[in-house]
Amino acid sequence: MGRPRWLNAEEKRAWNAFLGTYELLNRRLDQQLKQDSGISHLQYVILARLSRAPDRELRMAELACAVSNSKSGLTYQIGQLERAGLVRRRACESDPRAVYAVLTDEGMALLEQAAPGHVALVRELLIDVLTPDQLHALADGLGEANRRMLATGDPATDCR
């Protein structure tokens, strides 16, 4: 391996924009969701993921992986959501070790109430700011980066 290949100006620009956009965006989404619906962005993502699953339920490990969260982190969040009545835990009949997180009707209702404002903000702050070409490039490029990291991921490391 030779000398480190530093980032050139455009690469730096892209990298900094990527980091900055995420931080800013995540914070705005968090604030809006908390204010309007009393849940965090992470909780929204969890509820949304469950709502798309068959029977609106998913196993803990699978859900953790789907929202790029750790096992223990998910245990905590599901605990919060359960206390709020938005999610319910269900034991798996075939495998005693497994636990399903199930979206309740209340959870679905909250999600439907929160979604319009959330999506509108995502549009305003990111999606609608991009040109169609940029949107496409972002979907392709980041999609590929995503795929590679998932493929490379140390499987022992929580899927994270």
| Residues contributing to the site for DNA (CB under 7 A) | 27, 30-31, 34, 40, 42, 59-62, 69-80, 89, 92, 95-100, 155-156, 160
As a whole number of angstroms, the distance between CA 47 and CA 24 comes to 22
40-60: b or e for each residue (b if 16 or more CB lie within 10 Å)?
bbbbbbbbebbeebeebbbbb
Contact 70, 156 (CB under 8 A): no
- Quick one: what does residue 90 bind among its own copies, DNA, none, with the CB cut-off 5 to 8 Å set by partner type? none
Closest distance to DNA from the beta carbon of 63 (Å): 8
Contact with its own copies (CB under 8 A) among 100, 104, 141, 155? 141
Counting contacts by CB under 8 A, is residue 123 touching its own copies? yes
* Residue 111 CA to its chain's centroid (Å): 14
Residue 98: which of its own copies, DNA, none does it interact with, CB under 5 to 8 A by kind? Answer: DNA
- Selected from 84, 98, 108, 115, the binder of its own copies by CB under 8 A is 115
Q: What distance lies between CA 160 and its chain's CA centroid? A: 12
